[in-house]
Amino acid sequence: MEKSNISGNLLPEDLHMLRFGKRFDEVVYLDDYVCPICHSRIDEFGYCACDAHGD
Ligand SMILES: [Zn+2]
């Protein structure tokens, strides 16, 4: 349990798993819904790259 080293050797997909609960390639994005701040697609949970949730 090395919580303090969580960003050390993890793959991007692992970080995504920690953050979103699943791998990035399993995320379903809403193609017609883009965050007005970071212009990233927002997934079905309302999360984008900047966590503004498009709101
Ligand atoms: Zn955003």
Q: How far is the CA of 54 from the centre of ligand 1 (A)?
A: 6
Three-state DSSP class for residue 21 = coil
Cβ atoms 34, 41 nearer than 8 A? yes
Q: How far is the CA of 29 from the centre of ligand 1 (A)?
A: 13
Say what the pLDDT of residue 36 is.
84
Say what the pLDDT of residue 50 is.
85
Domain boundaries of the chain, sorted by first residue: 28-55
Token pair of 32, please?
């017609």
Q: List the one residue out of 40, 13, 15, 43 whose CA is nearest residue 28.
A: 43
Q: How far is the CA of 55 from the centre of ligand 1 (A)?
A: 9
Cβ atoms 16, 43 nearer than 8 A? no
pLDDT (tens digit per residue) in 1-53:
556 555 568 787 787 788 778 777 776 766 677 888 888 888 777 788 887 65
